[in-house]
Structure 1
């Protein structure tokens, strides 16, 4: 991993993010990049942006943070071997030399476009040397003559070095010329010494290549005869035995490399998945490719020992169930929140700022002021909109005087009217006509645990009772699907009327009605309970339900 990747920190809110979660991440990113030069901070989001938040971002000309669905460590987060790929035409000997130089047992084979073609390992080279008894394999492997020259430390004395040995067998000619005539056939490769008669006999018998050993000179007569018949002559300093022993190492690795069913990884793959694959396969090294399937390096088990976890700052939540996937595989360095203490655990101490305010963005604004950093017009607009959203324009019981004062100060900086912005935001967020039940439900949904129960609560805000009833009809059947899909004990949906400051609570789950009955003295209406004055999930609904579940 490069220095830039190591110093990168993501600031991210919870799954199914609301306006506060998105705006707090953007605003805190801006602040951190101004006050800290050690790291580079980036705002991210863990889910889709809802319509209210989209309106806010467009109004203040801000881009949506990039979506991140998992913060677990990936291959790109670790240092792995950047071994260069080799062409499939190189000799086995050359591959062996590269392996010794690089101190590796596997070489990646790539084409001219850097696409992975195969892998060659030391056992492949051992097989070519120890288990091959076919004297025609050099031709079967279509061995380039230049490979033979390189392997035998030789030189071309006649013929075309760019040609290939594609027919015939390998013959070691140690007998008399008369006997050679019996076993040297068309297109054979003949290894011999300095006997002129044997050399001429091999050429006249249409050998495709002569290998002259021990550095012996070759007469011009033999060279001319060879050129007339397109016969290649190679001179080598090695003796006949050594040349015969080495020549199979001139075969191209293409013939021995593994081409099919290659097991490799993408640079974006998560290390948990990589470890699982490695545990089932006995390979020592695995190729790594990029998003365009271009080869970039090799990874082994030992590379996984020094994993550099992604650094993240969590805003507007501190519950594991609400955090982005893979959070336990990341390094949490800060948490900025205004909710109850949740279930997240960290390995090392972290900076944790949690205040009983109506909105995380109020805390972020305080941090701007504490650090003496000027809030831009756009950031002020985002922070103000987040406070309006989380406090339902100061109607929520979670709203404090600090939240209201912050919003009013931010509105002046941003040059906005709070009531007009609030009305437009809430109308954008309550336009449910074109949305599916799933899109509506997951606009603002969180899961919780209390006692033996795991339950979820969604909240939707509307500007009138008519809108509340419309949403209720869309969701009353869908929440049964969510209950089964998420394997929860209960589902609750708060349909909050902002103007009337009341909520219709619909639910699903075997014990849901009993818990509502314990928690509230509420009048049951068709398909739901009317909770007058209840508009806050955090301060009014969750504590009451949890108390009921823990009785």
Structure 2
């Protein structure tokens, strides 16, 4: 099974994050790495949706987390058996698949119980001494399967009853041992066969391929006995007969520890230490058996593989990223607190957009991006640089846009204006959407600070949202355990930002910019960039 490498941007992804993941994954694929897959760690916002639709590029799959789960350890379907399967057949299945345990399931593959090699051997030894079919519910069909025989009298679904005897003595002596309802194994001695049938045995097993004569067959039908002919000798038949019992006769139904396929490995490991069974069945949401896991699986654990784009901090990464194997980082932000156990490719360039770096990678590899890929990279650069107005914009960004513009065949600035207009109507937006769609968390000194940003073409409609937005900001801050939650509402037309603040001491945020606080808001003229114009002043102020 091919192991995927996931290219993923930060949580609450913006256009650059989504488009960088798509474009970089596509580059890797064109370089021969077919197992590289683009993913997203959050919802696609309105602006990004507009961009993807404009260039007919599908949104990447949602990756909720990269925590290792039980299903990541499974190697495909495993053999199971139904409750009526003979023990011999179950053993053959286990031997063929090198499987020490075997789940017993119903017709819908729902878990009923388990058997192990130890259960099989224990049952065999126990039944060799005094085999009584009374409680085993052994069908004629199971005997036929196990001993490879044929039914001469009776039907497959009839059950054999009573204790088992071998008729290896003179028939007169033999008659003193057996009773009505017993099961008798005998060869081709007609007198012994008839004696057993006259006494009223429930079943007669003829060894060595023996058959009934016409009179004996008539007697068997009159007595309602089951008669089965098997090709083996009497000793072999007697040895194999206990293995014709159905697995339900020995399966364990209580105390069986199972796991769900979505269970976290961290939780499974602890349960295994507490119970110490050989194997554990894995069930899906419908309680169907989908596999088995053991301690061996934990020893050969392979972490999920990631390429991070447009971020390099655990606080912004897809959930569980700390447990994954990060192979590469492509980013244009400050270097955060990410640490890895092995050396990785870390490409961090001070440009306005991650897609500028990705497009440069295409050029370095001598690969021209397809029109759709070129289009979404162009849009991402325009978004992050605010159509070249942001102080984060560099000449490299402009040069790459010019390069992509030729491939796509559109006017970049005109497209950028339409892109921002697509999501700028505040009256049509939910406050949750405004806060969450491009929210990033930062560690600033000893404080956890969340900063979201919404770019609009004019601030019309913002006053109508004031009360609801303030309440939701404070609620979100509490839910996320942040010291401060800031929302930048950036007016692209006037080139300024209205900074909304939730926190115990909003005046501290205002002091960082040396500007007045009005109704928990600070007006920031000329501010367009979170990365260069908001995070640095906050960091400098709180670090003292």
TM-score, length-scaled by structure 1: 0.87
Alignment partners' CA distance in 2, 1:157 and 1:144: 11
Alignment partners' CA distance in 2, 1:397 and 1:470: 30
Residue 319 of structure 1 corresponds to which residue in structure 2?
313
Of the candidates 40, 46, 49, which is equivalent to residue 41 of structure 2?
A: 46
Alignment partners' CA distance in 2, 1:82 and 1:311: 24
Q: 1:54 deviation in Å? A: 0.5
Question: Structure 1's 427 and 292: CA in aligned 2 closer, same or farther, altered over 3 A?
Answer: farther
Residue 96 of structure 1 corresponds to which residue in structure 2?
91
Of the candidates 423, 446, 457, which is equivalent to residue 451 of structure 2?
A: 457
1:160-213: per-residue Cα shift (whole Å, max 9, x none)? 36233265555677898699589723x443456888666434423433202457
Question: Structure 1's 181 and 201: CA in aligned 2 closer, same or farther, altered over 3 A?
Answer: farther
Secondary structure of the equivalent of 1:465?
coil
Given that residues 31 and 368 in structure 1 are in contact (C-alpha distance below 8 angstroms), is that contact kept between their aligned partners in structure 2? Answer: yes
Of the candidates 7, 13, 16, which is equivalent to residue 12 of structure 2?
A: 16
Alignment partners' CA distance in 1, 2:421 and 2:468: 18
Alignment partners' CA distance in 1, 2:190 and 2:406: 103
Residue 514 of structure 2 corresponds to which residue in structure 1?
521
Alignment partners' CA distance in 1, 2:363 and 2:95: 61
- The answer to whether the aligner puts 1:474 opposite 2:468 as a matched pair is yes
Alignment partners' CA distance in 2, 1:385 and 1:38: 25
Superposition map of 1:264-275 within 5 A: 264-265=258-259, 270-275=264-269
Of the candidates 344, 349, 360, which is equivalent to residue 355 of structure 1?
A: 349
Q: 1:368 deviation in Å? A: 1.9
Secondary structure of the equivalent of 1:524?
coil
1:250-301: per-residue Cα shift (whole Å, max 9, x none)? 2100232235775444556553344344334332112345688764543211
Alignment partners' CA distance in 1, 2:292 and 2:98: 13
Of the candidates 520, 538, 544, which is equivalent to residue 545 of structure 1?
A: 538
Secondary structure of the equivalent of 1:458?
strand
Q: Mean Cα displacement is larger for which, 196-205 or 315-324?
A: 196-205
Q: Mean Cα displacement is larger for which, 277-286 or 501-510?
A: 277-286
Q: 1:58 deviation in Å? A: 0.8
Given that residues 510 and 517 in structure 2 are in contact (C-alpha distance below 8 angstroms), is that contact kept between their aligned partners in structure 1? Answer: no
Question: Structure 1's 76 and 39: CA in aligned 2 closer, same or farther, altered over 3 A?
Answer: farther
The Cα RMSD (Å) is: 3.4
Q: 1:120 deviation in Å? A: 1.5
Of the candidates 488, 505, 508, which is equivalent to residue 482 of structure 2?
A: 488
Of the candidates 428, 434, 439, which is equivalent to residue 433 of structure 2?
A: 439
- The answer to whether the aligner puts 1:86 opposite 2:86 as a matched pair is no
Question: Structure 1's 376 and 155: CA in aligned 2 closer, same or farther, altered over 3 A?
Answer: closer
Secondary structure of the equivalent of 1:433?
helix
- The answer to whether the aligner puts 1:106 opposite 2:104 as a matched pair is no
Question: Structure 1's 107 and 388: CA in aligned 2 closer, same or farther, altered over 3 A?
Answer: same
Q: Mean Cα displacement is larger for which, 399-408 or 484-493?
A: 399-408
Secondary structure of the equivalent of 1:42?
strand
Given that residues 191 and 213 in structure 1 are in contact (C-alpha distance below 8 angstroms), is that contact kept between their aligned partners in structure 2? Answer: yes
Q: 1:110 deviation in Å? A: 4.3
Alignment partners' CA distance in 1, 2:27 and 2:239: 70
Alignment partners' CA distance in 2, 1:391 and 1:212: 89
Given that residues 206 and 229 in structure 1 are in contact (C-alpha distance below 8 angstroms), is that contact kept between their aligned partners in structure 2? Answer: yes
Secondary structure of the equivalent of 2:119?
helix
Residue 346 of structure 1 corresponds to which residue in structure 2?
340
1:98-130: per-residue Cα shift (whole Å, max 9, x none)? 444544320133456655554221343355346
Alignment partners' CA distance in 2, 1:129 and 1:512: 77
TM-score, length-scaled by structure 2: 0.88
Q: Mean Cα displacement is larger for which, 297-306 or 339-348?
A: 297-306
Question: Structure 1's 150 and 362: CA in aligned 2 closer, same or farther, altered over 3 A?
Answer: closer
Residue 413 of structure 1 corresponds to which residue in structure 2?
407
Given that residues 83 and 297 in structure 1 are in contact (C-alpha distance below 8 angstroms), is that contact kept between their aligned partners in structure 2? Answer: yes
Q: 1:390 deviation in Å? A: 0.8
Question: Structure 1's 476 and 453: CA in aligned 2 closer, same or farther, altered over 3 A?
Answer: same
Alignment partners' CA distance in 2, 1:183 and 1:484: 81
Given that residues 44 and 66 in structure 1 are in contact (C-alpha distance below 8 angstroms), is that contact kept between their aligned partners in structure 2? Answer: yes
